[in-house]
Structure 1
């Protein structure tokens, strides 16, 4: 053999031997050194991890009646990620699914598209990586078709889930109070690293408003997980490992469903009555508070809506109706977010300030038909002249001119148009002491602050509006002048004044403030809290809805206590004087007509009417009350925007609520002797409602 050929053969043998050694070494490494790892990877190809949803806790009233519970529903969901891996982007699968569900492919595509600017509902507002529910009332036969032919429906699931149900006990339907659920967004998933996506669309929801949002962490529970075995088609063949979920806790509230239903009915009756009299009556609120504890017993808002509208998705028309002004923005709670001028109901604060500022509680004061504040005459309601009277009668008859005088004299002592360095502003300070102009701290999100204007606020407002006012002063309002020359001239005069001296706290500002007019704004919740302070001797309580967090088995997780009350700086004798004065309003004062025939022996009620003027609109109607007068338990307030006089619209609503709570000779009382439950209720049966 040629030596060169022999050498080449030897080199080839060596190379082959080396390759065999490398191959054998790699096989040994894979099977021995890394064998455990690859066995686990192989096992994962035939298993799937599923996060098992926890049943969300119920929201209960003070007697254990569910305001929100769960019901079972068969839900079909679509996994966008799985569909996107299909050759046609999943269009064939969607077409098959639409045929089974009895809808169109176009409608199905709309339901799984992601919400964004310019995208109308239906669309998916949650994470793109969550299964998207497309039908939550599926016929079992149709669901079975999907599950038995999984190879034709990759990425489609049909499973029984718990969805929110609103049973409306005693007719109670506090939609704004309860809030609603919406899918968790991708931003929330990114921010909350521990938040698990379950793979079940019905549980990847978070509270967006009301109690659902405030107590989301305790209501949602903790999901479990299940490791299942699957075949090549992705069908489940068995369970390898399982950890059960922990159900969410129930929230016991202080809301009484009976009183809540009565408040909602009374408010609706008042608004319907105002409509019959030709008034717009476009919004309203009715609220009941326990003056001893700060617990909220009822919170009704108008207009309202069906909270079940969120379950299973919401159409664009339905969504627009919830937010649109044409329908009255029913998503907004008028109790906590509505801000309105309080009118004469505000006089409890003004009387307290006037007495604290040195005016005698036992003095006699003249009540003329009008009173000159600076160079402008401020009139009594309808210009009525009532003569000399006490502060007691001033509250009973609701004399405005006495309060104008108090405010004007205080303004003058503070320096008038050139105020002292540290003006006393007794009425402004007292209003803040009563809790106006600040959030109450109620355990609900999105509470409004209201507004208590003062010199600082006036200056800030002037800074913002100066350019527009100066433009109006220079150019006038030609568009308005075309139809209303007188109004255009008035607007130009006001703009001229505001342009040059709009930052000044004028005597008219002080006078309007004293009777809850001008730039003063309060929420119904702030007002009922203030009247509770008058009723209970000066304790300004923090409103609370949550009473306790309770597990489904009835064991208590925690009780929900309110922060300590702070004291309103008003002498107890003054508060007693105010209570005694207000006790006469429904009997012989401005609300006597509304309370004709009322059984004061059953429950003695005191209160105050309020009729607040609003430029360009009809008056805001108020009635604020407390009772029983001798041992107050509750404060009740009603408000109707553009409802007319307080005595005509809101006072009858408040009367209806008191009669519902304490009963009449022809009607059984909701609260026997005005008593509320003293113990936590027993928990309703676990599980979803049928």
Structure 2
């Protein structure tokens, strides 16, 4: 037993009790302060947040606006399909999370159970597609290809399919009226991404997770106008996610309709004739390689000469944009993007770059006049032109004696332009340029708008290339090390070129200048750029920004916002030069390099102007170019590895004109058969209920038989 007195313990116990009391009081004070902060200081804020946790939104997607041709024919619209959807909220109430229901649904839809389950699972960083990245409270589409029988089974056996609906829903459709696909112009849709949602949060047109977004073509350019505004219904839910009531809702607002300058009838003709021209070229022998032409890609642009509006734009190879509707399969995506696909998603009218060949000579003619040469002066046109030990031949090694620039355009004489370009190169100092070089050929090309985008209202246009001295220097700096490593003085052709480029690839050599003057060498243009230039020559010199969108009309037809043509300036030539070039291009069609393709054409009634082009590309067959215009329209066609301009592209261009003007092969006109003898002026009318009284379109059927040329068929490759 301890001998410590009882009174000795009391002070220590009291101290402990006091400490405990202080701690308890401090905790109570802290808790009280926190409660005051939460309930009084920030009470309203947290009350609102708590309430919002019990309100969930269900989105009703807006009906996307249609894309119409110039007469109101839908080229992209919506069709009603039977869409089967699953309510995740209802499925999660079941003991097996809806597994049995989804399995029964898969059997009815002839789908694999796994595919159905995957479609209704929610997306996260670890879940691969397919999955649902929208609101879990929104019905999740399982398929938009259900047939009537399947939909009836689901609705009649509702007790077996709780949470499953089968309802008509608007789904995007690319109608291809008259077999006019217009694929690369229209583009396609795909689901919005998280990055896009984040970027658009503070804009006046935010994205919802259920939105489909335009990825290319007009669908992308006019996405904001076409998309409309989704409707939102707000539901009150408990802490288990069960709906206990409906709050308020905002009705969906349908998207506006975009009227284009495209004429679906002309588009069908252009697509057909381009494809036929490529097929015909593949049957012809290339005498340079002793193989048939590959004709692996091509493009055609039909433009209103006085406005810059695009009436037709076709590109080959092409694709069906409907393959993207509802999500593209991996197999189809590989077909469109794989190495062996030749990339049909490319719009070669605005993204296909190639040397222009002789259709570039209108620019060289203007450059020569700007440099001080008389358009009507006499210039030698020998069969070849020599610079040192290099010989630059005329096409087919023909000579025409002493001629002016107009005749040089008519017969496509290369050596006339070689001589002028060589003299200008010498005046500028050759490989040791003076401080104030004229560089007329390069400056004039840029004044024509080459080397930059035209501004056409389609995404991802490419600028082409004007290989002037600045470009030569930059290109040399970027590639010098590679050239020096690869080059050999006495190696094969490629190694010798690399060796020369290593030493002086930054210098403008005489050969560079003379090749450039006829649209060869490092020059790159696109069909839309050349259409802009030739339409400006046609209309007297005004360059217009190419455009496809013509107007945006509200879904009820009450509001119309027209898209007016935009002038971008004047061609760098005076009226006299423009008139002289115009006359020469008429001569190309009537007595020059394209005359054999336009025999029987009613030149007095519908004056035709043309320029042929055949561009040589190292390691490939020649590129066919054909540029042309009438008073109303400009048509440019090109075929990669297709042969000569007049041989491969010329006949197809003529047939497009014949269809537009209602001409027979022998030159007689039937205005009743003319598709578009004059550009479409009036806009289509859209009724208040959204309906459009659009004309029906029949597939294009070409006139036959083809007219002979001097009693015989001249083979492709015979002329420039």
CA distance in 1, matches of 2:327, 2:655: 37
Q: 1:136 to 1:602 in 2, by over 3 A?
A: farther
**Which SS does the other structure have where 1:429 is aligned?**
helix
Q: 1:489 to 1:405 in 2, by over 3 A?
A: same
Cα RMSD between the aligned structures? 3.8
Q: 1:40 to 1:357 in 2, by over 3 A?
A: closer
CA distance in 1, matches of 2:257, 2:345: 24
* 1:226 Cα deviation after fit: 2.5
Contact 2:542/2:567 (<8 A) preserved: no
- Is residue 219 from structure 1 mapped to residue 218 from structure 2 by the alignment? no
- Is residue 576 from structure 1 mapped to residue 590 from structure 2 by the alignment? no
Cα deviation, 1:157-185, whole Å, max 9, x if unaligned, reads 54432111122223321000011111011
CA distance in 2, matches of 1:240, 1:128: 17
**Which SS does the other structure have where 1:67 is aligned?**
strand
Q: State TM-score, norm by structure 2.
A: 0.81
* 1:193 Cα deviation after fit: 1.3
Contact 1:57/1:251 (<8 A) preserved: yes
Contact 1:347/1:516 (<8 A) preserved: yes
CA distance in 2, matches of 1:224, 1:306: 30
* 1:318 Cα deviation after fit: 1.1
Cα deviation, 1:410-468, whole Å, max 9, x if unaligned, reads 11111101011232110111111111111000111100101111111111111121111
CA distance in 2, matches of 1:246, 1:546: 22
246, 259, 263: which one aligns with 2:266: 259
320, 341, 348: which one aligns with 2:362: 348
Q: 1:87 to 1:596 in 2, by over 3 A?
A: farther
Unpaired stretches in structure 2, ≥5 consecutive residues = 1-34, 285-291, 693-720
Contact 1:162/1:688 (<8 A) preserved: no
In the other structure, the counterpart of 1:11 is none
In the other structure, the counterpart of 1:6 is none
Q: 1:463 to 1:679 in 2, by over 3 A?
A: same
CA distance in 1, matches of 2:575, 2:419: 25
Residues 186-585 of structure 1: matches in 2 within 5 Å? 186-193=194-201, 201=210, 204-227=211-234, 241-277=248-284, 278-473=292-487, 489-585=492-588
74, 86, 106: which one aligns with 1:98: 106
CA distance in 1, matches of 2:248, 2:122: 34
CA distance in 2, matches of 1:133, 1:361: 68
CA distance in 1, matches of 2:233, 2:372: 74
Q: 1:335 to 1:127 in 2, by over 3 A?
A: farther
* 1:267 Cα deviation after fit: 0.7
* 1:205 Cα deviation after fit: 0.2
CA distance in 2, matches of 1:614, 1:79: 59
- Is residue 621 from structure 1 mapped to residue 624 from structure 2 by the alignment? yes
* Higher mean C-alpha deviation, range 170-179 or range 90-99: 90-99
* Higher mean C-alpha deviation, range 343-352 or range 597-606: 597-606
* 1:565 Cα deviation after fit: 2.8
In the other structure, the counterpart of 1:8 is none
* Higher mean C-alpha deviation, range 283-292 or range 162-171: 162-171
Q: 1:260 to 1:230 in 2, by over 3 A?
A: same
Residues 62-101 of structure 1: matches in 2 within 5 Å? 62-77=70-85, 94-101=102-109
Q: 1:64 to 1:467 in 2, by over 3 A?
A: same
CA distance in 1, matches of 2:90, 2:470: 59
**Which SS does the other structure have where 2:626 is aligned?**
strand
* 1:135 Cα deviation after fit: 1.2
- Is residue 599 from structure 1 mapped to residue 609 from structure 2 by the alignment? no
156, 159, 174: which one aligns with 2:182: 174
Q: 1:643 to 1:149 in 2, by over 3 A?
A: same
Q: 1:363 to 1:51 in 2, by over 3 A?
A: same
Contact 1:52/1:198 (<8 A) preserved: no
Corresponding pairs, count: 642
Q: 1:235 to 1:113 in 2, by over 3 A?
A: closer
**Which SS does the other structure have where 2:145 is aligned?**
coil
CA distance in 1, matches of 2:650, 2:598: 8
Q: 1:423 to 1:321 in 2, by over 3 A?
A: same
* 1:242 Cα deviation after fit: 3.4
* 1:581 Cα deviation after fit: 0.4
* 1:100 Cα deviation after fit: 3.1
* 1:61 Cα deviation after fit: 0.9
Unpaired stretches in structure 1, ≥5 consecutive residues = 1-25, 477-485
Cα deviation, 1:240-273, whole Å, max 9, x if unaligned, reads 5433211111111111111111111111111111
